[in-house]
């Protein structure tokens, strides 16, 4: 079987490999460590509203993201890249 046909791992699976606890929301720092994407890039993606995030009431810093939002962001990014290659 060809490895290119394998479905990519989800954020939650990648986080589990790094032994991060399973939780509802992750910090951008945690997402950065799991994905290997710079923190500033993730923050910029949140600011541009390409990566969905929440900011708890009373806070002005500390974006939090759900694992499925990270998966959607990755999926959207790979679709955009594929459309540019055509």
**Tens-place pLDDT, residues 50-66:** 999 999 899 888 999 99
Task: Tell me how many degrees the CA angle 37-28-61 measures, rounded to the nearest 5.
Answer: 135
* CA dist., res. 75 & res. 33, Å (int): 19
**pLDDT band (50, 70, 90) for residue 29:** very high
What confidence score (pLDDT) does residue 60 get?
87
**pLDDT band (50, 70, 90) for residue 84:** low
Question: Any idea which architecture 9-85 has in CATH?
Answer: Orthogonal Bundle (1.10)
Full DSSP string of 22-70: P-S-EEHHHHHHHHT--HHHHHHHHHTTSS--B--TT-SS--EE-HHHH
Q: For residue 39, how many C-alpha atoms fall within 13 Å in the half-sphere facing its CB?
A: 9
Locate 16 and state its tokens.
């589990």
What confidence score (pLDDT) does residue 77 get?
80
> Once rounded to an integer, what is the mean pLDDT over residues 5-17?
84
């Amino acid at each position: 079987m060809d490895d290119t046909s394998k479905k990519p791992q989800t954020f939650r699976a990648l986080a589990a490999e790094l032994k991060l606890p399973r939780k509802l929301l992750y910090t951008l720092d945690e997402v950065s460590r799991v994905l290997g994407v710079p923190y500033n890039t993730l923050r910029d993606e949140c600011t541009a509203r390409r990566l969905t995030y929440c900011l708890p009431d009373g806070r002005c810093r500390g974006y939090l993201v759900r694992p499925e939002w990270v998966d959607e962001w990755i999926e959207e990014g790979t679709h955009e890249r594929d459309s540019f290659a055509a």
